Amino acid sequence: MLKRKMLRDIRNNISQYITIFLMVLIGIFAYTGIKAYMLGMDKSAKIYYEENNLQDMDLYGEFDDDDIEEISKMKHVENVSGKISLPSLASHKDNKLSIYYINNNDVSKFYVIDGKKFDIDEKGLWLDSYYADLNNIKVGDKITINYEGYEFKKKVVGLIDVPDLVYYVKDDSEVFPAHKSYGFVYMSVNALDKEIFTKLSGKELDDYEKYIRYSSLLIDLDSKDNRKTFKEKIIELDNVNACFNSEDLLSYDSYQREMDEGKTYVGVFSGLFIFIALLSVVTTMTRVVRKDRTIIGTLKALGYSDIRIAIHYLSYGVFLSIIAAVIGIVLGYFLMGNFFVKMEMEYYVVPNPKAYIDSSTYLVAILVILGVVIATLLSTYKVLIKNAAETLRVERPNVKTTKVNIIERKLFKHLSFSSRWNIRDILRSKARTIMGLVGIVGCMILLVAATGMNDTMKNYLNLEFNIINNYEYKLNLSNYGEDALKELKDKYGDNTSKSQLIEFKYNDDIISNNIFVNDSNSSYRIVDSNDKEIKLKDDGIYITRKLADKYNLKVGDTIEWRILGTNKYYISPIIGLSKDPQNQNIVMTKEYYESLDLEYIPDSLYTNKKVNVGKHIDGVGSIQSIDDISKGINNMLSTMMAMIFLIIFIAILLGTVIIYNMGILSFTEKNYQFATLKVLGFSDKKISKIFIEQNLWVAILAIVIGLPLGYYTLSYIFYAALGDAYDFEAYISLLSYVLSAIGTFVMTMLVSIYLTRKIKKIDMVTSLKGNE
Amino acid sequence: MSELIKFKDVTKTYEVGEKKFKALDKCSFTINKGEFVVILGPSGAGKSTLLNLLGGMDTVTSGKITVNDSIISEYNNKELTRYRAENVGFIFQFYNILPSLTVYENVELVKDIVKKPKNAKTVLKEVGLGEHLNKFPNQLSGGEQQRVAIARAIAKDPDIILADEPTGALDSKTGVEILKLLKKQCDSNNGNNTVIIVTHNTLIADIADRVIRLKNGKVESSTVNRKPKSIDEVKW
Ligand SMILES: Nc1ncnc2c1ncn2[C@@H]1O[C@H](COP(=O)(O)OP(=O)(O)O)[C@@H](O)[C@H]1O
Ligand SMILES: [Mg+2]
């Protein structure tokens, strides 16, 4: 019978239960959604890597068939696949393609979307499925490719995805993949034309097939654990220049970072959501139980045991939160999880991507329900421990004489009536005040963090595009002779740079990093931690401050380093710390580089002159315009903006519910007092003022607490979400602080004013009689 | 007739702030099985306190309450709950029926707590609510609501019915109807049911088998009415 009571009570007070329901739903929806999305990214990729046999290691160098044969026979090695990557990009229409030739497809196997599997005797080509799709290319079509002036036409025999190209961009400095204008092509090494060989080696040979060398080998080991042993042996071979684990691949690493970033959202935001959701359940259930006080007394008098009464009140929240949790999980998983995974897959290429759900999601749902149980039990307990007679008696505010010392008392006298009233009331119902305070603080944190995220990104864009990158086009140089370089410099200016992979000693370890030799004449600026340009000096190196932090380095220390693949160490003094949002590396001038007897061969040239991006230029592998780069980043930021709006929306929703709940709760408690005031002749307006004033104080206090906490939350997000490679400073503009504060404030006021309508409705007679 | 209830030096003290206040002060009296008892006294005399103690809803500060040879003043919480469920039917001044349950459901409710309750429909017909089974409390008049409360108490089939000012919120005509119902309940079951009514209406005393007068927390008198009037004889 009590079950029927519960269902009817819920129906009759639907709005207040809808808030519980929604809060739990939103909390669990957010958590499940983000979690299912992260897990989906992780698992989909893992399955892909596993099934298509992603390489365990990459060897770089120059290898012939005999080398492959020899390495295949080494211990732990299961498969070896040779790969030739053409050093510059080929053109197809106005687009760019990376071209690879392979001798087998046992490692990093194609995921064939359409067409045939890899076949060594096939003369056609396998094309990037995303590129093909966006450019409307089908299996059987013939496409014309231009590689450094050599044009050839080939049939597309298959559309594929490749596990070591989950993420790929034209150039390292391009963050955002553009699948329509850049793709990849695989061919059998037997389809490598003589002309291509000539471009690769500079030699014209009729029996060129014999002289084909692979630029990298993809190694599949029996177990990842044996990589170290293998590495130690392989490094002894002369023709191995470098050796990387698959985790170091740009593709693997970028994807991983994207996931790490998401994991922090899961933690911080859904944690806050769920916390606030629980808080609103507590307030609502306290209110319900309080309102049902006489009914509880009656049930007790009838002979219901305390346990059964407790279970009855538990059933309200638990019943609703179970339904909410189930719906939250289902919607979060199917809608949000899959939506975000699909969204990511516009940029990342993982076949069959889908959201996944794991036991932690169920656990969180169970914990939330358990939280509801405990919250309800606590509020029921307070009523239940009293005996039946007391429960049934009219609830009078138990006026505790709060001990205020004399100085305070003097102060007290000078305060207005409403201030005195409110101080007493706050002191008397600390729990409720704290609950409301925490709720509004939580809402404030969400608002500050969300708006601050926007500021931080804008700040970053400003640093990147108005300060650091100071050019219109970046030409990535490749395979050029002296003459070509001179011609380029004459035409586009002598602003160049060179990136060089290095290793440096740190305690007993050798750390891989890179140096950036800057001879760009401020086309690419190096900045300090205040975003001011550093005028580079020629007597040492600069390292980014994040790198310095990580390895405990400071100005005045020296670094012992060598160029990757060589054995000669250089000792360089650190003469300054720089800051770079995206690369944590070492910077030096061309003059210092050359003073070490190293030859400066630039790999990039910066210019502000107009460059025709579509046209092939001798000695230039690819061209990037600053517009493309910023467009890419802006694109990525727009997904982030969507996230920010979602968070702000939920924050406002949660905040409103919390404040509404707190208001309703204080109303139930104060009904009697307000009625008394009314009888004494206070006008509704005056009572409303008292009520609003109290909420105002709480809101202001919450805002003051919330502002710094919002900043710390944001700092934590950027610190934890972005890995070692990034150096983003949480930045919140004054405007954002002000807007968040005003938003919270206005919301509190609106809800309070809305609630004061109830004061007019207080019926003095029944309120004072106390029996409803 | 056998002794059913015995109060011996029952005291109930409330603490208000620092001060102690005796709501009941060494109250002693007995009530026999089957009696229709009226407890009289001015407001604040301690009537409700006394009834609450007897109904197992509150605990004594000192003294002893015996019901059916069991000392209920020594019961623990669990025993008190069972006592309330099985032995007592309580009727309140403000009815205290559950607003979200229908008339029928409010009575059917006792199925949850008593093993062998009376048929809810039959009881409701007895109190004259046969036509209103599916109405909700807010669709009933005060008298009808009190009947629901009485039906609920009767449906439990308890030995003792306790009513705290059951007519206090009703007009006198309706009040009489309610008293008749309570008297009828007392007379049923071969006169084995005991009904105790708290009131400050002295007229009701005339129909009682026993009248207990309270004043300032003390029992002034406990008298047996040799010749109780029938309800219709009393001029209300
Ligand atoms: N919980 C309580 N705390 C303090 N005083 C109480 C409490 N309950 C009752 N009293 C006081 O005890 C006295 C008797 O109350 P009650 O039994 O309700 O009187 P009545 O005879 O009107 O039913 C009253 O003066 C009342 O104020
Ligand atoms: Mg009373």
Q: What are phi and psi of A606, to 5 degrees?
A: -105, 140
Burial profile A60-94: b = 16 or more Cβ within 10 angstroms, e = fewer: bbebeeebbeebeeeebbebbbbbbebebbbbbee
Q: Residue A653 carries which side chain, given as an amino acid letter?
A: L
Are B151 and B108 within 8 A, CB to CB? no
Judged by average pLDDT, the poorest of A11-25, A392-406, A687-701 is A392-406
B44 touches ligand 1 (CB under 6 Å): yes
Q: Please report the ipTM that was assigned to this predicted complex.
A: 0.88
pLDDT digits (tens, 9 = 90+) for B25-34: 999 999 999 9
The CA A767 to ligand 1 mean position distance, Å, reads 19
Task: Please give the mean pLDDT across all residues of chain A.
Answer: 84
Render pLDDT for B206-224 as a digit per residue (tens, 0 to 9): 889 999 999 999 999 999 9
3-class secondary structure for A383-445? HHCCCHHHHHCCCCCCCCCCCCCHHHHHHHHHCCHHHHHHHHHHHHCHHHHHHHHHHHHHHHH
Q: Is the pLDDT reported for residue A441 higher than 90?
A: no
Nearest to B113 among A5, A12, A304 (CB): A304
Residue A665 has what pLDDT?
66
B139 and A CB contact within 8 Å: no
pLDDT score at A413: 67
Best of B49, B61, B215 to mutate for ligand 1, by most ligand atoms within 8 A of CB? B49
Q: Which two tokens stand for residue B152?
A: 């609920």
- The mean per-residue pLDDT over the stretch A124-153 comes to 93
Residues of chain A positioned with their CB less than 8 A from the CB of B81? 300, 303-306
pLDDT given at position A399: 45
What percentage of residues in chain A have a pLDDT greater than 70? Answer: 91
d(CA A236, CA A731): 49
Give the β-pairing of B194-199 and B160-164.
parallel
Tell me if B15 CB under 6 Å of ligand 1. Answer: no
pTM: 0.70
Kindly state the average pLDDT of the residues B86-114.
89
- Which of the residue ranges A174-188, A560-574, A666-680, B207-221 would you say has the lowest mean pLDDT? A666-680
* Contacts of residue A287, Cβ cutoff 8 Å, sequence gap at least 6: A16, A661, A664, A665, A668
Mean pLDDT of A640-655: 72
Cβ count within 10 A of residue A772: 13
Point out the residue among B56, B81, B100 whose CB comes nearest to the CB of A8.
B100
Q: Which of A278-292, A392-406, A438-452, B84-98 has the highest mean pLDDT?
A: B84-98
Q: How far is residue A343's CA from residue A253's CA, in Å, rounded to a whole number?
A: 19
B157 close contact with A: CB closer than 8 A: no
**Cα–Cα dist A360/A761, whole Å:** 47
Does A306 reach chain B within 8 Å, measured CB to CB? yes
pLDDT tens digits along A590-643: 999 999 999 999 999 999 988 877 677 888 877 888 887 787 777 667 766 776
Q: Is the pLDDT of residue A316 over 60?
A: yes
pLDDT reading at A652 higher than 80: no
Chain A residues in contact with B92 (beta carbon < 8 A):
298, 301, 392
| pLDDT for A484 | 85
Give the pLDDT of residue A771: 39
Rounded CA-CA distance A477/A620 in Å is: 4
Could you tell me the distance, in angstroms and rounded to a whole number, from the CA of residue A673 to the centre of ligand 1?
21
Q: What is the pLDDT of residue A398?
A: 47
Inform me whether the C-beta atom of residue B190 falls under 8 Å from chain A C-beta atoms: no
- Give pLDDT, residue A293: 84
Count the neighbouring beta carbons within 10 Å of the beta carbon of residue A532.
Answer: 11
Size of interface A-B (CB pairs under 8 A): 82
The answer on pLDDT for A668 being more than 80 is no
Is the minimum distance from the CB of B49 to ligand 1 under 6 angstroms?
yes
- To the nearest 10 degrees (0 to 180), the angle between helices A271-291 and A306-331 is 150
Task: Collect residues with CB below 5 Å from ion ligand 2.
Answer: B 48
The pLDDT value given to residue B16: 79
Residue B137 one-letter amino acid? P
What CA dihedral angle connects A311, A314, A316 and A320, to 10 degrees? -120
* 8 Å CB contact of B101 and A301: no
Residue B21 Cβ < 6 Å to ligand 1: yes
Entry field: residues in chain B: 236
Residue A186 to residue A157: CA distance in whole angstroms: 10
Token duo for residue A229: 């042993």
Question: Which of A294, A306, A401 lies at the smallest CB-CB distance from B96?
Answer: A294
Residues from chain B that touch A301, judged by Cβ atoms under 8 A, are 55, 57, 84, 90, 92, 96
Residue A397 pLDDT exceeds 80: no
The reply to whether ligand 1 has any atom less than 6 angstroms from the CB of B46 is: yes
- Cβ contact A304–B112 (<8 Å): yes
Question: Which ligand ends up closest to the CA of B39?
Answer: 1
Does A390 contact B at CB distance below 8 Å? yes
* Chain A residues with CB-CB distance to B84 below 8 A: 300-303, 388
